Structure 1
């Protein structure tokens, strides 16, 4: 029997294989197909296995993988899978990598159990398929699918981003205060924002630039009509960029408006596909600027006419922006715009304080107002001019702040007070001469009065009035109750000191005259009582106008004499009732002190007062 026709008995396993039939069937199959017994020996190997291992069937059958020299480590998973299939009776599927001349190949294997006639597992069939290319194809397919998915996601993201950007751009254009128009390449307005509708008084969307030109009648600033070739939209669609072309136009209500028009072409690959145009309405702005210019002119005119020098400087540079004619004349400074404060201070004149301290560049009032935000009122500065003469200046300076409180500019006003200071010095000199005369007259009156009253009436300065004894009482003379308190204090103090009743009554009467004068003719009248072992004293004070020097003799010695100031002054009565009077009077007020001795002096008969003989 030939080998092709022989039936192979599996040595008791009960499995018979017709090799020739299998070879013929599997000759063209690339899969590796084999049958193994329970010990892992080949019972059958397909032609593809022979070609793979380079051996004959006789060299393979009856041997294991290890015995024919195949890679035991790489095939270990298949060995374990075969043992599992024969043990469980269930097919086992897995993959394994094997080295080959073309590189590592990937194989998929299936191990299925084979049963004999009695149903026992006698062998295992192994089918091994080279899936290297399939895996490469699958990986490539997966890569392509992933790339396609990524591209789709990118396209979707780009479309979403484009939509978002378009929405943002539309929102921005809608919210812009300036009018925005979008033109197609054919010159048709495809979009106009709400500001454009408000600007023109109608919605220009869908109009051509020629139609828009007819409706708004644009003109040059000098009034000449604007041709369609000069229209910003025409220029933009030619590829030009137009920046703030000033135009006059009429809105739908017939009102003339002024606008600054800018346009930029929308180009792609060198071709203009459209243009975006912006109209900035400056009608109100130009009116405001014209009004501001008029106000500035008026301000300059007023400053030039002011009776004071005016200097304005800006912060923080110190650049002077205005100096009127009087300031230039006072400082002898040929002012030019953009000069700074230091240039003015360093000019040949010398500026110094009244005490002679020279002003440095950081000391003048305008510098301090600009640098420190200081407000300066009436600071006196002496200026030595080029001819050697000296002028006295009174300078006011103050900052003008921005809303954030930073100093923006500072303003200084300069008044020439030289003549005023000269007049004040002359007035002060005259006053000193007058005061000297008053003092001489007062001194003369003092000596005369002291002589004719036998030293009982002392006309003195306030500091010369002596304080005699201890203070018993002092209080303001506010009402009748105050006078009653003083009178009771005098009686009680006199009695305690040992003064007889008649003398005490004389003191009370004289004090009443003094208090009456203080209340009637003074402000803030006050009375004090002093006492020692020899005398009781009353002092009445006020802040009235006092007695003029020329009226003092008559007020003291002429009975019935009165003036508006001295009305009711009973000095003659007080002098008759008291032992001694002290009087200090002047513009700052009057102090009258009355002394009454506890006991009369033990002398011979007193000589009569001089004025009693007159």
Structure 2
């Protein structure tokens, strides 16, 4: 179907043919026809120049082989220059106007001229980097080889189309990657016992892991797009969960809570956390959640709490028992920190249990010599697994000096390694004082015996010599007591002296 421009060009072409040209002295009716043609040409010119589309009338040029090799611009409208950027091209060939002109245009316009069939194409002119929608058609007689090209610059449309295709490709690639990530998330979610899910801003599920669907005994199609109310949660629990989702959205902060829930597997305890998901602008776009079955943990905590209460009761009983004795009872960890001290020892230190437990001997102001001795003994117990007994002087918090005897014993773990050390300490100051007094008394007696000129001796029941003073050694006329000790006393005497000695022993 011809356009108005094509029809008008055809009329002008006929009007300009040789048989239609008449001398100036035409009859009146012919002059009227000529004037009409001139008026029509003026209208055509106005239309020609006012078109938004580019329009050019060209003559196709052939080489010696009859192949189209170029074309000459015969006429162009104002839009031609605006759309192509080419100026003053009338009379020039296409190769002159654009030296590296694309040859495919010669082939297209050659086909139009030869077949006299119009052609519409979208083609790029690479020399000026523009795309055109071109409608080409013949004008004039066949031997004129003339054609007209009505075209529109579609470079921007092509750019938009290319960007659209690129965006579609990116979208397709992104969608494929998103699907891959979703499958990966599904696989991960299926491998863990936790329930994983997401909500939109209205609190409707947008993703649900298979483990949660199995708990509900629903398919994804039955659950996605619904909220807790629509999934038959108890009214109060559903209201609480929906409110918490909105709280996460409004505060932009995670929320953690626990709740019992009854399903096909019975009533169990669950811990859950809701976390906001942000878009690139930092706006909350969704909420993610993870729920974990903590029934076993809750039961274990209850047992642990019960056991801890019983243990605390036993500790109080043990502590009360140990506080009734006068000895100090304590225990160390492997690093020498106190794990326990009974009230007797706490009173010696002048501190409370809270101030002492976890402290070292240095922290409790033990003298370095005492600390060093006890730590050496502690290390020996850890290495040998055997008890160690020792004594040490010590001054308590009141400044009272004393002497203590202690024993350190290992506490074995299940694998028979020493995991801690218990100790018992006893104040032996009175005993030490008694021993010192006894030693002093013995020394006094010894000095008295040694100062006597008489023979003073100590014999066994069998008559063997256990002790003899200096007076006795003088009597025996010996200086060193070693040779005579443990000898028979009667062996030192002869004849009458022996008889006297025997009589003395008998008495």
Query: Which bin holds the TM-score, normalised by the shorter protein?
Result: 0.3 to 0.5
TM-score, normalised relative to structure 2? 0.44
> Higher helix share goes to which structure?
2
* Larger radius of gyration between Structure 1 and Structure 2: 1
